Amino acid sequence: MKIVFAQLNLAVGDISNNTKVIINAINRADSEYDADIIIFPELSICSYPPEDLLHRPSFLNEVNNALKEIISSTGEIFVLLGHPQLEENELYNSCSVIKDKKVISRYNKQILPNYSVFDEKRYFVPGNASCLFNIGNTRAAITICEDIWESGPAKQAAEEGAKIIFNLNASPYHVNKLKKRESIIKKRAQENSMPIAYINLIGGQDELVFDGNSMLVDQNGSVVFHAPQFEEGIFQYTFAIGEKSVPINSIECSEEENIYQALCLGVRDYVYKNNFNGVVIGLSGGIDSALTTTIAVDALGAENVEVLIMPSRYTAKMSVDDAFEQANLLGIKSEKISIEPAFSTMLNSLAPRFDGLPEDITEENIQARCRGVLLMALSNKTGKLLLTTGNKSEVAVGYSTLYGDMCGGFSPLKDVWKTMVYKLALWRNRKDIVIPENVINRPPSAELKENQVDQDSLPDYETLDAILEQYIEQDLSPSEIIANGFAEQTVSRIARLVDRNEYKRRQAAPGVRITQRAFGRDRRYPITSGYQEN
């Protein structure tokens, strides 16, 4: 049996282009590969997740027209295509089996995820039946994504005589997801002594990145075929069910490489799918903007990245020098605009009202907001998207200025802990030096007042990230974290900072989700909350 895996970067809502891409893939599977079957990801026609577009009758109507067009373009080879399907006023997450311009059979997803970033029970009704069809003499069955994470649907298919399962997915990336996913597929294959062909979407969609990693696991639970990760393409694999195939090694790459690839794909797709011609970034001489700029260049090319360097009275000369050095290393357009005139003018304008009031965080925020005004002006004037540079540790404790350094349409490091920011910088510099060593080695500082460093008001980042990871990703209480060996006062203060800064996160730009719990659809906390956990 020759299977073509259509691991495509389909765009949410772009039904007409997705339809062209799908028809083209079907034609290639037939003419170039002479395949028996081509399999597409979950909800291919509208891509995933379409969210509340699914509530628009015209949207479903257009999907249905696209489906008809695709059906009429099929020939001898089997096509497994994911799409939303309205039947008697109920909406299903479906897969049609199409051949010779006809729908032979249709499967409706049975297990609808409604946790983490998923809201499928908001949209779909679950199916309750398996869907078997014959490819030649082989009895085949279908499951969709979450179906395979529980034992039921695969077992049901096996009991009804299936000899192979095709599993259609839109499974988003996070750190270690591939390992988890592989072990589940292997387990299901072994439980039912049946090969599983796993096809996944690829591409960035708002906060999610789909990593591809389509694969075939044989009846013994060995991976015998693996498509690349973070790469679009049409891949084929030929095998005979029951015959011995050669197990291959799983894709091995470092966590840093993995995350870096995800971030690049997330940035590239956000920028281009939203029709921007490039990005602008405020380059400070600090590590976050240095890494963000490097990612932008790797994702978009140096010619599509421009930076502003915006010193103030509190900016060390070294910061400006390092920023210019990095701009040179990367070969990107850079310009220095001091914020001193704007900062002074703002202070003067406010002087009558602030007369007699002591200096406080206000004056620091004004500096960050002057930079925001300049960066957004450059973004508006050039039509380039402003990237904001905050990392997950900062986003967690609110160590950032709303409408200041939080300005920007996309936030590449939003889900990257500060300790991982350093690891990624070191990893990237190992290929070629693109971030000056100074930037990596200096103690981090917001440079918003005299001699300020982050560790004046925060614990060291190793400690901070360890606490945050337990509080946010593991839902541990402060007392449990303290019991794990962290200082009581520090833990309590950090937990309160996380709680209190929900309002900032609610107005933050979207960013690439790389952990199991990002800030976003993943973690839905009230802003107004009297809860103080001990």
- What are the residue numbers of the active site? 42, 109, 145
Strand, helix or coil at 73? coil
- Pick the closer one to a second copy by CB: 151 or 525: 525
- Pick the closer one to a second copy by CB: 50 or 195: 50
DSSP assigned state of 520: B
Pick the piece of the chain touching a second copy (CB under 8 A) from 136-144, 245-253, 314-322, 499-507.
499-507
Counting contacts by CB under 8 A, is residue 45 touching a second copy?
Answer: no
Please give the residues from 118 up to 147 whose contact with a second copy meets the rule CB under 8 A. 119, 121-122
Please give the residues from 101 up to 120 whose contact with a second copy meets the rule CB under 8 A. 114-115, 119
User: How far is 514 from 420, CA to CA, in rounded Å?
Assistant: 11
Closest distance to a second copy from the beta carbon of 53 (Å):
6
- Pick the closer one to a second copy by CB: 222 or 382: 382
Counting contacts by CB under 8 A, is residue 335 touching a second copy?
Answer: yes
User: How far is 388 from 403, CA to CA, in rounded Å?
Assistant: 11
User: How far is 458 from 447, CA to CA, in rounded Å?
Assistant: 15
Counting contacts by CB under 8 A, is residue 313 touching a second copy?
Answer: no
Counting contacts by CB under 8 A, is residue 494 touching a second copy?
Answer: no
Counting contacts by CB under 8 A, is residue 371 touching a second copy?
Answer: no
Counting contacts by CB under 8 A, is residue 374 touching a second copy?
Answer: yes
Residue 526: cis peptide before it, omega within 30 degrees of 0: no
Closest distance to a second copy from the beta carbon of 191 (Å):
24
Q: Nearest CA to 506 among 523, 489, 491, 531?
A: 523
- Residue among 4, 39, 42, 50 that touches a second copy (CB under 8 A): 50
User: How far is 165 from 517, CA to CA, in rounded Å?
Assistant: 30
Please give the residues from 436 up to 475 whose contact with a second copy meets the rule CB under 8 A. 475
User: How far is 236 from 1, CA to CA, in rounded Å?
Assistant: 10
Closest distance to a second copy from the beta carbon of 465 (Å):
20
DSSP secondary structure of 113-140 = --STT--GGGT-PPP----EEEETTEEE
* Segment holding 23, helix H or strand E: helix 15-31
**Token digits of residue 31:** 């003419």
**155 to 174: interface string for a second copy, x by CB under 8 A:** --------------------
Closest distance to a second copy from the beta carbon of 364 (Å):
9
Closest distance to a second copy from the beta carbon of 277 (Å):
15
- Pick the closer one to a second copy by CB: 90 or 335: 335
**Token digits of residue 204:** 């960035």
Closest distance to a second copy from the beta carbon of 116 (Å):
9
- Pick the closer one to a second copy by CB: 10 or 217: 10
Counting contacts by CB under 8 A, is residue 206 touching a second copy?
Answer: yes
DSSP secondary structure of 377-399 = HHHHHHTPEEBP---HHHHHHT-
Please give the residues from 385 up to 424 whose contact with a second copy meets the rule CB under 8 A. 402-403, 407, 409
Counting contacts by CB under 8 A, is residue 49 touching a second copy?
Answer: yes
Please give the residues from 6 up to 35 whose contact with a second copy meets the rule CB under 8 A. 11-15, 17
Closest distance to a second copy from the beta carbon of 253 (Å):
27
Counting contacts by CB under 8 A, is residue 37 touching a second copy?
Answer: no
Counting contacts by CB under 8 A, is residue 356 touching a second copy?
Answer: no
- Residue among 193, 277, 349, 455 that touches a second copy (CB under 8 A): 349
User: How far is 201 from 521, CA to CA, in rounded Å?
Assistant: 20
Residues 6+ apart with CB under 8 A from 20: none
- Pick the closer one to a second copy by CB: 83 or 99: 83
For residues 44 and 63, the answer to whether their CB atoms sit within 8 Å is no
Bridge partners, 239 (sequence order):
none
**Token digits of residue 74:** 């099929």
Q: 445: alpha, beta or left, given left = phi > 0 and alpha = psi -120 to 50?
A: beta
Counting contacts by CB under 8 A, is residue 491 touching a second copy?
Answer: no
**Token digits of residue 362:** 């206000």
For residues 302 and 281, the answer to whether their CB atoms sit within 8 Å is no
- Pick the closer one to a second copy by CB: 170 or 370: 370
Neighbours of 353 (CB within 10 A): 7
User: How far is 66 from 520, CA to CA, in rounded Å?
Assistant: 32
- Pick the closer one to a second copy by CB: 136 or 526: 526
Pick the piece of the chain touching a second copy (CB under 8 A) from 24-32, 232-240, 334-342, 486-494.
334-342
Q: Nearest CA to 189 among 247, 136, 231?
A: 247
Closest distance to a second copy from the beta carbon of 268 (Å):
12
- Residue among 23, 91, 316, 377 that touches a second copy (CB under 8 A): 377
Read off the amino acid at residue 293.
T
- Residue among 3, 158, 201, 339 that touches a second copy (CB under 8 A): 339
* Segment holding 238, helix H or strand E: strand 233-238
Please give the residues from 261 up to 300 whose contact with a second copy meets the rule CB under 8 A. 269-270, 273-274
- Residue among 88, 360, 432, 450 that touches a second copy (CB under 8 A): 360
CB crowding 506-521: b at 16 or more within 10 Å, else e: eebbbbbbbbebbbbb
Counting contacts by CB under 8 A, is residue 428 touching a second copy?
Answer: no
User: How far is 386 from 401, CA to CA, in rounded Å?
Assistant: 16
* Count of residues touching a second copy (by CB under 8 A): 85
- Pick the closer one to a second copy by CB: 130 or 205: 205
